[in-house]
Chain A
Amino acid sequence: MTAPGAAPALPVTGTPVLEARSLVKHFPVHRRGRRIQHGAVVHAVDDVSIAVREASITAVVGESGCGKSTLTRMLARLIRPTAGELLLNGSPAARQNAREYAGQVQMVLQDPFASLNLVHTVGYHLARPLRIHGLGPDGTSLDDEVTSLLERVALSPQNVGKYPHELSGGQRQRVAIARALAVRPRVLLADEPVSMLDVSIRLGVLNLLADLRERERLALVYVTHDIASARYLSDTIAVMYAGQIIEQGPSATVTDQPSHPYTQLLLAAAPDPDRPSPPALRGRGAPPSLVSPPAGCRFHPRCPFAMDVCARQAPPTVEVASGHVSACWLHAKDPDPDTPQNPDPDLRSFTPTTARQQDSRPPRGEST
């Protein structure tokens, strides 16, 4: 049997179910509840583009603070992007109201102990989205739908009357997944869905997600800090660092031939019992402050291969192999920025200067 991620290669043509174009999220810096220093922002996500297709799994991998959860929240429209565009089935998501959007894009959160309501039964949790979205048959019981939801996540229908405290962590996460599936979404955003679960039951939940991708042709976004599980589950891996996607490509390629120095660092640091000798870490240190991220490539202060150009100009996104892109000057054909020769507007760099200019306008949607 093949791994979930090793499903037949999917054609990369056609309209993505969900597409983000140059998403930006800047959070204003607050102190004691008031905004200080006009324009001081946390550059949580800067210029991130990602497309997810039907029946595919995209993993977003990065360390804490890299912006992966902020990105997920923007994809779920829980927070509004500072700039950029979100397309659902090719049309701008902004035209749809929140409920329509939620009927297509659902989210599973990290902690199933917190995301389920302690005073309600499993059945209540599953029937509620059906009622809200008007999916149940009028006036009749939703029992059949709820039972079928439980079966779709491999839980016994006997669990319907149970309260969250009567379930194990893995069962709770399955209930949370079933709740997300209730509205028959096309996209499922899973933000660290297994990191709170015991090691021995994580794979069960990951395999369930892989099944759902195949059975229900869901487009899945799997957000994680664990690159090994991303390799196991996903078709595509996008590696984020300091608010930007720095490498993206087929899972096995990204993990077997990482092209960005940060991805190489992540892989070297990951636990690996097969490793015959201790890994050599190249690029020690910590991610930069996102209030004033480094100019040029955000990884350059740590990068073992940093060149002059890396501190001056943000690297272009270069295709290092088919479908495998890396934002690194090492892979640029002409790493001399004084002779700009990359006119592709899609690869425009987002410098901190332009970010600050943009943000001197009143922030949109922040007051809500």
Chain B
Amino acid sequence: MTSLPVGTLDQPAAAGRSRPGEPLLEVTGLCVDYGIGPDAVHAVLDADLALHRGEVLGLAGESGSGKSTFAYAVTRLLRAPGVITGGVVRFHLGQGRDIDLLAADEAQLRRLRWTQVAVVLQSAMHALNPVFSIGDQLGDVLRTHRPDMDRAARRDRAAQLLDMVGITADRLRSYPHELSGGMRQRVMIAMALALEPQLVIMDEPTTALDVVTQREILEELAALRDRLGFAVLFITHDLSLLIEIADSIAIMYGGRIVERARATALFRAPRHPYTLGLLGSFPSLHGPRVHMTGIAGSPPDLRDPPAGCPFHPRCRYVMERCRTELPPLRPPARAGVQDPRVVACWLQDGSVPPPAELARPGPGSGPAPDPGHGPGPGVADGTNEPAADPAGTPADPQGGAA
């Protein structure tokens, strides 16, 4: 694994964070195929990622970029025809012990799942069993993993869990169809946190929800994370949301991680043309309305991936080399010491000067340039940028978890 401790930055805001640094999950060279043999589709290719205790790591990409497959492979929840063809997923249990999740047997996984690693899926509607009450389903988790708890204790704990996500205990008797979409997703979060895991993997947890509900759930999640200290792997296609809530972000494209950086650095100073294009795909809520173009073309067909860089057919800055040679994921040539980030792009290896929009100074190195969005009404302008790291100040409930 390229040693890139994404969470151990000496940014001002990161200093106030609880227990930064210590790695929790290290993924190295993960490869996942769908199918076997020459027809296999390479859904995840050579993915490296590190997640630290208490960190929120965002994984962003379009449909088919491999972000969900990545999560399923890491948790060993991948079903056939998905096949993990390579890599190491090291999960740190603390006190220097760790376990390779890809080599673990079922018994080891069972001990780890839910108690250490929990998953919240996108569709709470389908993840909850329609014929059992919420209380029964929460109780099921406890009965399986905490056999010493008696019925009354399970019920108390279930009520406590619901209360934690802002649902009153009388809802224990409700069935999933009696709850709104937001409440169902809250139940899913409560269930994931039932055994206080160290890592919660969330796959598009709020995508199907309205913005107000989404924001409420994210706030609750932030507060819970501050209290319980779990790390989150947050998977979504909504990069604008991720920049607000994540500490660091990895961008996936065509099955590969193409850029990984602190959220602020990624937003203020993207280094990969795809990241730049993705950022330019979200219209701003403030400032002058400028014409935006998104990204030309469509995501690659993984059955027939392009040679060289997977993004080259859509890239504005494509060079001859991009068509044949795959750029490695490594620190950009001009990265500062304070800017530990990696990018897979030939523009950033120092052989050519990158275009200005891919060479903006990062937030750690002097005042950040305004990326074309003026400050909105009542919003402080960008000059206090280093302090506005989404990692958040300790006092701020959202920025922390988020």
Contact = CB atoms under 8 A, between A and B. Distances in A.
B380 A232 contact: no
Interface in B50-65: 62-63
A266 B284 CA distance: 14
Contacts of A257: 377
B165 to A, nearest CB: 14
A114 interface: no
Contact of B281 (A200, A269, A274): A200
Say whether chain B's binding surface is mostly helix, strand, loop, or mixed: loop
Interface string B228-253: 00000000011111011000000000
Interface stretch (B125-133, B192-200, B206-214, B337-345): B206-214
A228 B285 contact: yes
Nearest to A274: B373
Contact of A225 (B63, B210, B243): B210
How many of chain A's residues touch chain B, expressed as a range? 35 or more
Contact of B212 (A271, A274, A275, A281): A281
Contact of B283 (A168, A170, A232): A232
A255 interface: yes
Contact of A199 (B214, B244, B281): B281
Interface stretch (A2-10, A29-37, A138-146, A323-331): A2-10
B282 interface: yes
A271 B212 CA distance: 10
B309 interface: no
B291 interface: yes
Interface in A199-220: 199-204, 207
A286 B182 contact: yes
Contacts of A279: 215, 398
A5 B240 CA distance: 21
A130 B397 CA distance: 58
B283 A198 contact: no
B395 to A, nearest CB: 10
A267 interface: yes
B289 A252 contact: yes
Contact of B240 (A4, A63, A272): A272
B114 interface: no
Interface stretch (B18-26, B145-153, B295-303, B324-332): B295-303
A299 B240 CA distance: 28
A255 B219 contact: no
B294 A202 contact: yes
A64 interface: yes
Nearest to B241: A271
Nearest to B390: A273
Contacts of B290: 1-3
16 contacts: A1-B291, A3-B288, A3-B291, A198-B62, A198-B63, A228-B240, A231-B283, A231-B289, A255-B285, A268-B215, A269-B215, A270-B285, A274-B375, A275-B244, A277-B399, A278-B402
The 8 closest A-B pairs by CB, nearest first: A278-B398, A203-B294, A3-B289, A232-B283, A271-B241, A273-B243, A200-B295, A269-B215
